[in-house]
């Protein structure tokens, strides 16, 4: 059975990681439940000249047109769509990724807040003991940031900063993006061939 993965895009820099992850999850045949914040719309436009529609229905149509040839399926939910499956522990995804993850979102999840669907979905995934991967893109990190990350790690989340390795000699920005996305896919148990692994010829 294909994995169901909730992917949330928030307002941190690093939108190419999230969009590439979406593509790879669909290519792997996953069922993706996509959420994104209002700040993510701003970042997507700034970093990728990508217009994320305000209405979930329009976003679903846009991404389905972009990835029509990929075997996975996609559902998009609005920030206040409380009847979405991810809002309840009775129907949680197999895993959730917040990529990129803003420090505001990370802090809200660390404190157990659920003021929007992204925060509620993360809360559900943690309480149901499903994998939660957070990809925080910020530097430098304050003591508050670090304490929130430690709190989440102790609660079972994986903190995966987008720190690329260079042992595979990346030649393009896409190579750097793929290195990070590959690490996220590894955490989800989703097969990929994005990069050579350490020790491979």
Tens-digit pLDDT profile for residues 93-107 = 999 999 999 999 999
pTM assigned to the model:
0.96
H runs (alpha helix) in 5-97: 15-27, 38-48, 56-66
Where residue 2 falls among pLDDT bands split at 50, 70, 90?
confident
Where residue 196 falls among pLDDT bands split at 50, 70, 90?
confident
Cα–Cα distances (Å) from 20 to 125, 155, 176, in that order, read 22, 27, 11
* Eight-state DSSP code of residue 133: E
Residue with tokens 């900063």: 161
User: Can the peptide bond before residue 191 be classed as cis, meaning omega within 30 degrees of 0?
Assistant: no
Mean pLDDT of 129-141: 97
pLDDT at 63 over 80: yes
Quote the pLDDT of residue 199.
83
H runs (alpha helix) in the chain: 15-27, 38-48, 56-66, 103-110, 117-127, 143-154, 173-188
Quote the pLDDT of residue 31.
97
Cα–Cα distances (Å) from 28 to 24, 43, 84, 170, 184, in that order, read 6, 26, 23, 23, 13
Where residue 76 falls among pLDDT bands split at 50, 70, 90?
very high
Where residue 1 falls among pLDDT bands split at 50, 70, 90?
confident
Query: Which sequence spans correspond to the domains of the chain?
Result: 4-188
Separation between Cα atoms, residue 180 and residue 163, nearest integer Å? 7
pLDDT in tens, 4-52: 999 999 999 999 999 999 999 999 999 999 999 999 999 999 999 999 9
Q: What percent of the chain has pLDDT over 70?
A: 100
Strands ordered across the beta sheet of 132-136:
73-76, 31-36, 4-9, 95-101, 132-136, 158-159
162 near 126, Cβ under 8 Å? no
pLDDT at 198 over 90: no
CATH code for the part of the protein at 4-188: 3.40.50.1950
């Amino acid at each position: 059975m294909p994995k169901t993965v909730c992917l949330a895009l928030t307002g941190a820099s690093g939108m190419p990681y999230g969009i590439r992850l979406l593509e790879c999850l669909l290519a792997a045949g996953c069922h993706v439940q996509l959420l994104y914040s209002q700040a993510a719309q701003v970042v997507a436009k700034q970093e990728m000249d990508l217009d994320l529609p305000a209405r979930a229905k329009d976003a679903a149509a846009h991404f389905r047109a972009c990835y029509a040839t990929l075997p996975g399926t996609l559902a998009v939910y609005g920030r206040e769509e409380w009847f979405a499956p991810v809002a309840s522990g009775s129907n949680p995804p197999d895993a959730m990724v917040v990529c990129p993850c803003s420090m505001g979102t990370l802090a809200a999840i660390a404190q157990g807040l659920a003021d929007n669907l992204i925060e509620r979905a993360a809360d559900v995934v943690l309480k149901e003991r499903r994998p939660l991967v957070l990809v925080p893109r910020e530097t430098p990190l304050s003591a508050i940031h670090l304490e929130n990350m430690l709190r989440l790690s102790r609660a079972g989340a994986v903190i995966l900063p987008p720190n690329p390795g260079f042992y595979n000699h990346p030649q393009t920005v896409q190579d750097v993006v793929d290195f990070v996305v590959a690490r996220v896919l590894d955490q989800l148990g989703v097969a990929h061939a994005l990069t050579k692994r350490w020790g491979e010829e």
